[in-house]
């Protein structure tokens, strides 16, 4: 079972409710507690469905896998506020992720220094973790400022770290296969969130430039966005 409540406009009340059962079956949509539509089949939801709202705007709902299941909800082609496909939410998620990873890296370094009995051997490793955490914190700050290069640099940094970790896992007998696989899966989720952060920052930059180059588009028929 799952549920999602969204506003139709920025800062507005959470009027739209989306409910679904196990494995995304039996999805139902209501607006102000009034039924809008339903999707019984998961395959149909993955292909995307559209419903007309009382104000004649078009609601587009689609289940994506990028890499985890994500419900894209658009109104007249634009993501609803705080939805997973909302660029503001994507940038916010990437920012919190970078700050969280920075705190974790610094925490690991400090705990290692406190717990170790071999300070001289542990110091270079802890110093590298502190440096890694500091770089991530700086990138998190620029991600908050919607600097598009921040998630790209973080992806490059984590790609190098992932290759190094995989090399250690393959060459060391002390690292278990299950542990290495779990770490790789977590990193895939991290790469996905950072990639969305880049796309969100790019979309917000495009929106900021749009009023300078063209008049704001009027609310018209739904626009089908290309697949991510």
**What are the tens digits of pLDDT across the range 38-89?**
998 888 899 999 999 999 999 999 998 876 788 888 999 888 887 777 888 8
Residue 138 sits in the same domain as residue 65:
no
Residue 52 sits in the same domain as residue 130:
no
Q: How many CB atoms lie within 10 A of CB 74?
A: 22
Confirm whether 216 is domain-assigned. no
The percentage of the chain sitting over the pLDDT mark of 70, rounded to a whole number, equals 85
Residue 75 sits in the same domain as residue 141:
no
Confirm whether 181 is domain-assigned. yes
Has residue 180 got a pLDDT over 80? no
Residue 196 sits in the same domain as residue 94:
yes
Confirm whether 225 is domain-assigned. no
Q: With bands split at pLDDT 50, 70 and 90, how would you rate the model's confidence at 95?
A: very high
pLDDT at 50: 93
User: Where does a domain end: 19, 45, 80?
Assistant: 80
pLDDT at 220: 40
Residue 118 sits in the same domain as residue 52:
no
> Residue 16 gets which letter from DSSP?
E
pLDDT at 219: 38
Confirm whether 223 is domain-assigned. no
Confirm whether 191 is domain-assigned. yes
The percentage of the chain sitting over the pLDDT mark of 90, rounded to a whole number, equals 24
User: How many angstroms separate the CA atoms of 7 and 69, rounded?
Assistant: 21
Residue 110 sits in the same domain as residue 180:
yes
Residue 156 sits in the same domain as residue 190:
yes
**How much of the chain is in helix, strand and coil states, percent to nearest 5?**
55, 20, 25
Per residue in 133-171, pLDDT (tens digit) is: 999 999 999 998 888 889 899 999 888 888 887 777 677
Confirm whether 214 is domain-assigned. no
Residue 106 sits in the same domain as residue 202:
yes
Which tokens belong to 62?
A: 């689609």
Confirm whether 52 is domain-assigned. yes
Higher pLDDT, 184 or 33: 33
Confirm whether 213 is domain-assigned. no
Mean pLDDT for all residues in the chain: 81
Residue 101 sits in the same domain as residue 32:
no
Residue 67 sits in the same domain as residue 124:
no
Residue 111 sits in the same domain as residue 199:
yes
CB contact set of 70 (below 8 Å; sequence gap of 6+): 63, 64, 84, 85
Residue 108 sits in the same domain as residue 190:
yes
Structural domain including 59 reads 2-80
Q: How many domains does the chain have?
A: 2
């Amino acid at each position: 079972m799952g549920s999602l409540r969204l506003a139709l406009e920025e800062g507005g009340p959470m009027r739209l409710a989306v409910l679904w059962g196990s494995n995304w079956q039996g999805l139902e949509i209501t607006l102000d507690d009034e039924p809008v539509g339903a999707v019984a089949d998961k395959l149909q939801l993955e292909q995307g469905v559209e419903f007309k709202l009382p104000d004649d705007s078009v609601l587009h709902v689609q289940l994506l896998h990028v890499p985890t299941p994500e419900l894209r909800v658009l109104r007249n082609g634009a993501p609803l506020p705080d939805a997973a496909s909302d660029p503001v939410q994507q940038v916010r998620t990437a920012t919190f992720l970078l700050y969280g990873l920075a705190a974790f890296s610094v925490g690991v370094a400090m705990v290692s220094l406190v717990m170790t009995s071999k300070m001289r051997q542990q110091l270079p490793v802890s110093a590298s973790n502190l440096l890694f955490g500091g770089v991530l914190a700086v990138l998190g700050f620029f991600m908050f400022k919607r600097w598009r290069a921040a998630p790209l640099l973080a992806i490059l940094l984590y790609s190098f770290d992932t290759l190094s970790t995989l090399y250690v896992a393959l060459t060391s007998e002390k690292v278990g296969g299950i542990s290495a696989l779990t770490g790789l899966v977590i990193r895939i989720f991290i790469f996905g969130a950072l990639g969305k952060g880049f796309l969100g920052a790019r979309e917000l930059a495009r929106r900021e430039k749009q009023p300078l180059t063209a008049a704001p588009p009027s609310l018209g028929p739904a626009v089908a966005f290309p697949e991510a």
